[in-house]
Chain A
């Protein structure tokens, strides 16, 4: 296969692109990159800087072998990630692995995602915090939320998903081609599950270890979580009702 595609006419490359969406992650991002490079030195890395107001972009530009897309305005995690899909598609990568810039995803665990994709032939593999619950202690309230989404996905798209909002994912060409076209801005992760299933693509999960975030704060506070949940539910229901395109 010839690989002098539109973006990136580089020499020999790996078939996998690691996409790191990042918004104001100057304290975490370098560690993420170093960890990825330590685990798999050959993997190509693309950081999508979602118009950070801190030194995220500058820091990353100092790293060797990392490409950076600076978005001109803040598009949200969905828009940033979709930029990565578009890049990967144009540069003809076979796989994309999404690793968040905040350091909660453990690059060492990518091997598990790859193995799961090889063995199951799935088009998207989700790294789940909750499948092997050893590493994740969580509140009762949150467990109920997880259970709820599990049942919801089982009823709506007949798929067993324990961690529908996890962004730690591996995509093959088929799924990233679809997501390069349609990827919602607000709650893209659960939405993508429905979209892929509707197009007859296969999804599976594999248990992975995740870290609590080291710097910065989670966007979901206890006060906001019912609000968050209802918006996610609405997103899922709407995407189920959407006709296949």
Chain B
């Protein structure tokens, strides 16, 4: 009976998941979060929402995978999700680092080139004025 009587914890889950979902939507709208990264957060929010709305689902799932204590199954799933998310972040950081490195190198080389051009300009200015 999904929409019958809700336990306190269910209300908590519903409120929490709505906060996640609405925050993500807000952040994407304000361009504070890339669409690319928003998807996984939305999925996590939806997962918490669905599990909170339909209590029987979690019981059935934990029964299916052989976990006797349904909240454990819930936590395991969330932890697995968090791991994937963290891995995703590490990949993004590595990617940023590589790009940052290339930019820093190019920046240093361009600065050297600028200095040399300036030196040459000063030299040719002197040559012209004499």
State the main secondary structure of chain B at its contact with A: helix
Q: Does B84 contact A (CB under 8 A)?
A: no
> Quick one: which of B86-130 are within 8 Å of A by CB?
97, 100-101, 104-109, 111-113, 116
B-contacting residues, A208-236, CB 8 Å: none
CB-defined contacts of B101 to chain A, threshold 8 Å:
75, 79, 82, 185
A86 touches B111 (CB 8 A): no
| A68 within 8 Å of B (CB atoms) | yes
In the complex, what's the smallest C-beta–C-beta distance from B102 to chain A, in angstroms?
9
Chain A 59-89 interface mask (CB, 8 Å, partner B; 1/0): 0000000011111110100010011001100
Chain A residues with CB under 8 Å of B100's CB are 73
- Choose from B97, B108, B112 the contact partner of A72 (Cβ within 8 Å): B108
Name the B residues within 8 Å of A86 (CB-CB).
Answer: 105-106, 109
Chain B residues lying within 8 Å of A8, measured Cβ to Cβ, are: 113, 116
Q: How far is the CA of A67 from the CA of B117 in the complex (A)?
A: 13
B109 touches A72 (CB 8 A): no
The yes or no answer to A7 lying at the interface (CB within 8 A) is yes
Which B residues lie within 8 Å of A75 (CB)?
101, 104-105
Residues of chain B within 8 A of A83, CB atoms compared? 105, 108-109
Count of inter-chain pairs, beta carbons less than 8 A: 45
Q: When the two chains form their complex, are residues A87 and B109 in contact, meaning their CB atoms are under 8 A apart?
A: yes
Q: Which residues from B are CB-within-8-Å of A67?
A: 112, 116
Chain A residues with CB under 8 A of B109: 7, 69, 83, 86-87, 90
B contact residues around A7 at 8 Å (CB): 109, 112-113
Whole-angstrom distance from the CB of A211 to the nearest CB of chain B? 28
Q: B105 contacts which chain A residues (CB < 8 A)? A: 71, 75, 79, 82-83, 86
Whole-angstrom distance between the Cβ of B77 and the nearest chain A Cβ? 31
Shortest C-beta distance, A103 to chain B (Å), equals: 23
Among A48, A79, A90, the one with the most B-chain Cβ atoms within 10 Å of its Cβ is: A79
Complex CA gap A230/B121 in Å reads: 52
Chain B residues near A72: list those with CB within 8 A: 104, 107-108
A73 to B112, CA, bound (A): 15
Which of A6, A68, A79, A90 contacts B104, CB < 8 Å?
Answer: A79
Chain B residues lying within 8 Å of A82, measured Cβ to Cβ, are 101, 105
Contacts of A87 in B (CB 8 A): 109, 112
Residues of B within 8 Å of A90, CB to CB, are: 109
Taking the closest CB of chain A, its distance from the CB of B127, in whole angstroms, is: 15
Kindly list chain A residues whose C-beta atoms are within 8 Å of the C-beta of B112: 7, 67-70, 87
- Least distance between A114 CB and chain B CB atoms (Å): 26
Assembled-state Cα–Cα distance A75/B106 (Å): 12
Q: Which 10 A-B pairs have the closest CB atoms?
A: A69-B108, A83-B105, A71-B108, A69-B112, A79-B101, A72-B107, A72-B104, A73-B104, A7-B113, A71-B104
A8-B116, A75-B101, A90-B109 given; 11 more Cβ-contact pairs under 8 Å: A7-B112, A48-B108, A69-B109, A70-B112, A71-B104, A71-B105, A72-B108, A82-B101, A82-B105, A83-B105, A86-B106
11 contacts between A and B (CB under 8 A): A6-B113, A68-B112, A71-B108, A75-B101, A75-B105, A79-B101, A79-B104, A79-B105, A83-B109, A86-B106, A87-B109
